[in-house]
Structure 1
Amino acid sequence: MATENQLHVILSTPAVRVPAHLVESTQRYVESGLRGAANTVRAYAGDCKRFSAWCVLHQLESLPASVEALVGFLTELADSGKKYATIERHAAAIAKAHELAGVESPTADKKIKVLLKGIAREIKTRQKQAPAFSLGSFKHTIKSINISVPAGLRNRALLLLGFTGAFRRSELEALNVEDLAFDNDGLVVSLQQSKTNQLGQAEEKAIFYSPDSALCPIRSLQAWLRLLGRTEGPVFVSLRKNNKLTSRRMTTKYTNLIVQQYLGSQYTAHSLRASFVTVSKLNGADDSKIMNQTKHKTSAMIRRYTRLDNVRQHNSAKELGL
C-alpha cells in the first residue's frame, strides 16, 4: 500500500538510517511486509486519497493529521450515510499511512475510539451479509446453464468450484492451471496466497467428484480446461463478445456479476462461500471439517458465516425425542 512518497519518508527519516547500498532491498522488503490482500490495498489507497482531499478542502494537514481533523472527517462520513465498516476501514487506512510515515496516528487517541463507538451505535454495527442460497436452487441453476458455448462452460465451472471449495473471489481470480492436481480421488487446489495466508504458506483445498456429472465440479472444470487448452496461466479468463477466449485473468468484479446473473441480484460472489458453510452445517458437518475447507481459524467465524434465516433450521428441538 505504500506509495513512493511514503516509502521515501520511511527510508529517509533519521530513525531508520538505512545505508545507501541497502535502500533498494529495504524498500522491497518494506513493500512486501506492508502489502495486504489486494482488495484491502486498493481500498486503503482510495481511503487515504479521500482523506487527503478532505484535508486540502478544509486547509488541514493530512500527514500527520490532528485528532480534530480525523474527528471531522469521520463525522462527515457518518452523516453522509456510509456504513460503519466503511468508516472503520477509513480509520484503519489513515492509521496505516501514519505508521508508514513513522509518525503518531490520531486514531490512537481516546476521542477517536469514543467517536467510533458512538457512530457504531447510531448507524448499527451489523454489516449487511451476503445471503446464502439453498442447495436445491443452486442445483437447478447449474443444470440450466447452456454449456454449448464457452461462457457457459466457464461459468458452470466457476460456480461449482467456488461453492464446493468455499473460495473467496480473490482466490478464484488468482487461480492458475498449475495450482490444480487431479487424481482418481478428486482434485487438490493449492493456494499460493489468500486473504489469511499472506506469507504464501502451503494451503490446500480438496474438491470431490459428484455422482451427477452435470453437478460435478471436477468434470465441469476439466471440460473448461480442455477448451482453455493450456497447462499454465489463469484458470478463469475473460471472453470477447463473440465468445472467443482471451488470456486476460477474469477480475473479482466480473465474478460477482456472474453470480448475480445466474443466482439473482440479491447474491454476491461471497454467497458461494457463505452457502458452503450454511449447507455444510445443515447437513451435520462439524466446524473442524468446515474450517478445513474454508481455512477459517475459529469456530466463531463459522458461526458468523452460517446463514440460518429460518428458526426451524439446525434446531436441536427436533432431536428431543418426544
Structure 2
Amino acid sequence: MPSDLLAPALPTAQLPAHLVASSTRYVETGLRGAANTVRAYAGDWKRFTSWCALHRLESLPAPVEALAGFLTELADAGKKVATIQRHAAAIAKAHALAGHDSPTADKKVKVLLKGIAREKKTRIKQAAAFTLASFKRTIRSIDVSTPTGLRNRALLLLGFTGAFRRSELEALNIEDLAFDEEGLVVSLDKSKTNQLGQAEEKAIFYSPDPALCPIRSLQAWLRVLDRTEGCVFVSLRKHQHLTTRRMTTKYINLIVQQYLGAPYTAHSLRASFVTVSKLHGADDSKVMNQTKHKTSAMIRRYTRLDNVRQHNAAKELGL
C-alpha cells in the first residue's frame, strides 16, 4: 500500500509522545498482512485512485457510489469475480489503514458483489491436483545429470511432501533444515497464515525408492550448492552456472508447469498433498499438521475429488 495511507487512527491524545510513533507502527504492521498480498493490493488501490481521479470522485474516504461504479466497470470489462473481490478487499484495506470506514461494508455494495458473482456464475478457480501415479512418472522422467534437474526434482518433491506454499519455498534457507536418521524437519519463521513468526515445523520422511525420495533428492541438490547457509533454491545462469539469487515464486510456478503441464500451478503441489493424503485415509488432523491449516473446513476446500469414483461411499455398501 502507498506510504501515505499508513496512518491508522489511534487514540493518541492519551498516549505519551514517545509512544505515538511506535503504536502507529504496530497497528500498521497488524493491518498490512502478507507481503504478496500487500503487493497485489497496492496495484488494485492505484487502479481505483486513478479511476476516481478520472471521474473527479474522492477515493479516500470513497463514497459508496464511487466504489459501486468502479466495481461495475470491472465487471462490464469482463474481469473475473475473484479479481473484482480482490479489488474490493484492497479498497477496504486502504480505508482501514487510513482509519476510515470502508464503503465495502455498505449493504448496497455487498448486494452488488453478490449480483456480479451470480450473473457471471463463475467458480473461484482452484489449482488442479495431480494423481500420485502421474507425479511419480514425472519425477522419474527428470534428467538429474545436471544441476537444473537436481534442483527441480528436489523442488517438486519437497513442495509436494511438505505441502509448501510457493512463497515458503522461495523463502527457504539452508539454516531452516535439520536432518537426522528419521528424516528432515523444516522450520518456518513466517507463512501466509503465520504472520507473527511463531515457530512452525514440517516433517519430511525418507522414501524407500531413492529416485522418489524428497530427502535424498534435496541432499543431492545441497551438495551441488556446497554451502552451509543462504537460500536453498537459487537461479542458474546459462551453462548450469549457479547464482546466489533466490528463485522467485513466479519462476517456481513455471517449473511446476514445465514438468506437470499447463493446467497445474505451484499451488497444485499443496492441493495434491491434501487430496492424495485424504485418498489414502489420513484424517484431517494429520493433514493439518503438515499444511498448517487451522480448520477442517479449509482441508475440505483444498481436497480435489473431481472424479466421482475416487472417494465414494457406494464402494462400501457391502452388496
TM-score (ref. length: structure 2): 0.95
Per-residue CA deviations over 1:225-271 (Å, capped at 9, x if unaligned) read 11111111111111112211111111100000000000001110011
**Superposition RMSD in Å:** 1.6
In structure 2, what is the Cα distance between the partners aligned to 1:201 and 1:241?
39
C-alpha deviation, 1:46, in angstroms: 0.8
In structure 2, what is the Cα distance between the partners aligned to 1:49 and 1:206?
41
C-alpha deviation, 1:30, in angstroms: 3.5
Q: Secondary structure at the match of 1:279?
A: helix
Asked if residue 161 in structure 1 is aligned to residue 177 in structure 2, the reply is no
Equivalent residue number for residue 63 of structure 2: 66
Equivalent residue number for residue 245 of structure 2: 248
Question: Could you tell me which amino acid in structure 1 is paired with residue 27 of structure 2?
Answer: V
Q: How does 1:1-322 map to 2 (within 5 A)?
A: 1=1, 3-7=2-6, 9-10=7-8, 15-17=11-13, 21-22=18-19, 24-322=21-319
Q: Secondary structure at the match of 1:242?
A: helix
In structure 1, what is the Cα distance between the partners aligned to 2:169 and 2:74?
32
C-alpha deviation, 1:4, in angstroms: 2.3
Q: Secondary structure at the match of 2:93?
A: helix
In structure 2, what is the Cα distance between the partners aligned to 1:28 and 1:189?
31
Question: Could you tell me which amino acid in structure 2 is paired with residue 298 of structure 1?
Answer: T
Per-residue CA deviations over 1:103-153 (Å, capped at 9, x if unaligned) read 221112111111111111111252111111111111111111111111111
Question: Could you tell me which amino acid in structure 2 is paired with residue 241 of structure 1?
Answer: K
**Distance of aligned partners of 1:107 and 1:16 in 2 relative to their CA distance in 1, 3 Å threshold:** farther
In structure 1, what is the Cα distance between the partners aligned to 2:150 and 2:31?
38
C-alpha deviation, 1:35, in angstroms: 2.8
Question: Could you tell me which amino acid in structure 2 is paired with residue 43 of structure 1?
Answer: A
C-alpha deviation, 1:100, in angstroms: 1.2
**Structure 2: 5+ residue runs without aligned partners?**
none
Question: Could you tell me which amino acid in structure 2 is paired with residue 283 of structure 1?
Answer: H
- 253-262 or 294-303: bigger deviation: 294-303
**Distance of aligned partners of 1:14 and 1:238 in 2 relative to their CA distance in 1, 3 Å threshold:** closer
**Structure 1: 5+ residue runs without aligned partners?**
none
**Distance of aligned partners of 1:34 and 1:226 in 2 relative to their CA distance in 1, 3 Å threshold:** same
Q: Secondary structure at the match of 1:127?
A: coil
Q: Secondary structure at the match of 2:239?
A: coil
Question: Could you tell me which amino acid in structure 2 is paired with residue 16 of structure 1?
Answer: T
Question: Could you tell me which amino acid in structure 2 is paired with residue 148 of structure 1?
Answer: S
C-alpha deviation, 1:156, in angstroms: 0.3
In structure 1, what is the Cα distance between the partners aligned to 2:21 and 2:244?
33
- 276-285 or 26-35: bigger deviation: 26-35
Q: Secondary structure at the match of 1:189?
A: strand
- 62-71 or 84-93: bigger deviation: 84-93
In structure 1, what is the Cα distance between the partners aligned to 2:317 and 2:149?
46
- 19-28 or 286-295: bigger deviation: 19-28
Task: State, as a whole percentage, how many aligned pairs show the same letter.
Answer: 81
Per-residue CA deviations over 1:72-92 (Å, capped at 9, x if unaligned) read 000011111111121111111
- 99-108 or 60-69: bigger deviation: 99-108
TM-score (ref. length: structure 1): 0.94
Question: Could you tell me which amino acid in structure 1 is paired with residue 109 of structure 2?
Answer: I
Q: Secondary structure at the match of 1:254?
A: helix
